[in-house]
Amino acid sequence: MECSWKTVLLLVCASLGVQYTAIRTLRDSLSGPCQGTYRCQTRHHRDSRWRALCDDSWMPVESPRKHILLFATTRSGSSFTGQLLNQHPGIFYVFEPLYHVQQAFTNSSSRLRRTLDRRALLGAYRDLLLNLYTCDLHFMENYIRPEPRDHVTSSYFRRSSSHALCSPPVCSEGGDVAASDLPDETWCPKKCGALNLTLASMSCLSREHVAIKTVRVPEVGDLRTLTEDPRLDLKIIHLVRDPRAILASRMMAFSDQFRAWKIWNATGRQPRYVDLTQITSTCKDMAASAETGLQRPAWLRGRYLLVRYEDLAFKPKDKATEIYRFVGLEMEDRVRLWIAKNTNSNGSSPSEWNYRYSTTRDSRATAESWRRRLGFDIVRTVQNLCNDTLALLGYKQVHSAAELRNLSHSLVEHRTFQPVTW
Ligand SMILES: *[C@@H]1O[C@H](CO)[C@@H](O)[C@H](O)[C@H]1NC(C)=O
Ligand SMILES: *[C@@H]1O[C@H](CO)[C@@H](O)[C@H](O)[C@H]1NC(C)=O
Ligand SMILES: *[C@@H]1O[C@H](CO)[C@@H](O)[C@H](O)[C@H]1NC(C)=O
Ligand SMILES: *[C@@H]1O[C@H](CO)[C@@H](O)[C@H](O)[C@H]1NC(C)=O
Ligand SMILES: *[C@@H]1O[C@H](CO)[C@@H](O)[C@H](O)[C@H]1NC(C)=O
Ligand SMILES: *[C@@H]1O[C@H](CO)[C@@H](O)[C@H](O)[C@H]1NC(C)=O
């Protein structure tokens, strides 16, 4: 597949008298004639600028464009996993665009909110995903508050988490720094100014693939219409994590919301007002999606990969390779380098910036830190609430505090969920 579009690209460019050495530059620039080969399947077909380039003889037999969805839940390691996609130079990576939809809906008047049911919200989520996969970033303007002016916004959620949005042409200041291995978070907000969504759309078009990370879609079944959409070649990476670790991580990250849990953790006594529903529904959704995926329904065939965050944290290189094989792309050097630098896979000492911007420099230790951070009482409660989910995903229960704290005793069963292709 990789070969076939490259061949097409080469032929097209050669026929236009363009040097082979210019291909990469052309691909990355916005005006190159080679753009046309990627766009013919999308709405841009209607655009006269592309139409001339969409001659049938140039068309690849099958669209090589991949639409990747990192489907996860809050604090399940999705930022780390997303970096494996964000670092790929051919991927336009979008970090949780559904945040804006949820905000817009949550902030609407209460009368409207009552009439907005779950179906409407999920429909809005899917609409946005579809529009982003076809590189229409203007569609975000429906949800970004305050409303962008002249297609420019300063309120784009976590813009620095998308490398493409910190690189030329979106951020012309980004040139040299973007190519370095400084994390975008350290300089992008300062250097790049407001985000021009027209430029963002163009940058998306100039990359071969689109990957989106979301933690806001509850179940994989909610994505069915997207997997069946003939315009997309959707690949869903379902990222799961031990719910006990998810809870510990949420308690650290959202201390206000989890105050009762923290009191419980500190005192060893369960407050009456502690809210168990959030972790329960996380477990239910995770299990329901995994069950659906592992039953291999026709609409998900070849489109679903279950990844346990722990496996990725323990063997980042192997798992990343598996993920790339599943989506059908080459793992580029930049991705390999990022893994080497951020996972301590060599046992080398991490550099300073890793320390500040990720919790991942020693991914193995991070994945297990919950075992020192949670009281046994809380762990037992989560085990009772989530016992089916733990069993399904291969996480062992502990029966004593000693067992919980003994890190030589692994709680992750060896599991192979399915062959990469089926
Ligand atoms: C929604 O309301 C909250 C609280 O009033 C505010 O902080 C947030 O910026 C608002 N978000 C949007 C998208 O309007
Ligand atoms: C955004 O970028 C487009 C494309 O380069 C440009 O035409 C437009 O003027 C820019 N908008 C603003 C407000 O700078
Ligand atoms: C890891 O080891 C490889 C090969 O020995 C080396 O090229 C690379 O620079 C090392 N990574 C780090 C972060 O030291
Ligand atoms: C729970 O309490 C222990 C001390 O008993 C503390 O080290 C740990 O950080 C706490 N965990 C969380 C998630 O707050
Ligand atoms: C989980 O707990 C429920 C209720 O206690 C029990 O019926 C069920 O068999 C348990 N599941 C597993 C996999 O142990
Ligand atoms: C910790 O677990 C390992 C492996 O299961 C076991 O061999 C060892 O005895 C345990 N240590 C303690 C102190 O329980």
Q: What does the pLDDT look like over 377-401, one tens digit per residue?
A: 999 999 999 999 999 999 999 999 9
Q: Is the CB of 384 under 6 A from ligand 5?
A: no
Q: What is the pLDDT of residue 113?
A: 59
Q: What is the pLDDT of residue 341?
A: 81
DSSP 8-state assignment for residue 306: E
Q: Is the CB of 346 under 6 A from ligand 6?
A: no
Q: What is the pLDDT of residue 361?
A: 52
Q: Which residues pair with 214 in a beta bridge?
A: 71
Q: Is the CB of 267 under 6 A from ligand 6?
A: no
Report d(CA 275, CA 250) in Å as an integer: 13
Report d(CA 196, CA 203) in Å as an integer: 11
Atom of ligand 6 nearest to the CA of 403: 14
Which residue lies with its CA nearest to atom 14 of ligand 2?
A: 196
Q: Is the CB of 405 under 6 A from ligand 6?
A: no
Distance of CA 19 to the CA centre of its chain: 36
Ligand 4 pocket by C-beta < 6 Å: which residues?
A: 248, 251-252, 262, 265-266, 373
Q: Which helix (H) or strand (E) holds 96?
A: none
Q: Tell me the pTM.
A: 0.82
Atom of ligand 6 nearest to the CA of 402: 14
Of 213, 208, 159, give the one whose Cα is nearest residue 184.
Answer: 159
Distance from residue 220's CA to the centre of ligand 5 (Å): 23
Which ligand number lies closest to the CA of residue 137?
A: 2
Distance from residue 52's CA to the centre of ligand 2 (Å): 25
Atom of ligand 1 nearest to the CA of 146: 14
Q: Which helix (H) or strand (E) holds 213?
A: strand 209-214
Give CA separation, 287 vs 239, 278, 320, 322, 417, in Å.
12, 14, 23, 22, 13
DSSP 113-172: HHH--HHHHHHHHHHHHHHHHTT-GGGGGGT-SSPPBTTEES--TTGGG-GGGGSTTT-G
Which residue lies with its CA nearest to atom 5 of ligand 4?
A: 266
For tokens 């130079």, what's the residue? 89
Ligand 2 binding pocket mutation candidate from 138, 172, 196, 203 (most atoms within 8 A of CB): 196
> pLDDT digits over 183-196, tens only?
888 899 889 999 99
Atom of ligand 4 nearest to the CA of 375: 1
State the amino acid at position 151 in one-letter form: H
Distance from residue 410's CA to the centre of ligand 4 (Å): 21
Per-residue pLDDT 10s for the chain (422 aa) are 444 444 444 444 344 443 333 333 333 333 333 333 344 444 444 444 444 444 444 444 445 899 999 999 999 999 989 999 999 999 999 999 999 999 888 866 665 555 567 888 999 999 999 999 999 999 999 999 999 999 999 999 999 999 999 999 999 887 777 777 788 888 998 899 999 999 999 999 999 999 999 999 999 999 999 999 999 999 999 999 999 999 999 999 999 999 999 999 999 999 999 999 999 999 999 999 999 999 999 999 999 999 999 999 888 999 999 999 999 999 999 999 888 888 765 443 333 334 334 544 567 777 888 999 999 999 999 999 999 999 999 999 999 999 999 999 999 999 998 654 54
DSSP 8-state assignment for residue 350: P
Atom of ligand 3 nearest to the CA of 346: 1
Contact (CB, 8 A) for 37 and 15: no
Q: What is the pLDDT of residue 344?
A: 67
Which residue lies with its CA nearest to atom 7 of ligand 4?
A: 373
Q: What is the pLDDT of residue 359?
A: 45
Distance from residue 330's CA to the centre of ligand 1 (Å): 40
Q: What is the pLDDT of residue 9?
A: 43
Instruction: Give the tokens for residue 394.
Output: 């291969």
Report d(CA 196, CA 137) in Å as an integer: 10
Report d(CA 110, CA 113) in Å as an integer: 5
Distance of CA 303 to the CA centre of its chain: 15
Distance from residue 388's CA to the centre of ligand 4 (Å): 26
Atom of ligand 4 nearest to the CA of 251: 13
Which ligand number lies closest to the CA of residue 104?
A: 1
Q: Is the CB of 348 under 6 A from ligand 3?
A: yes
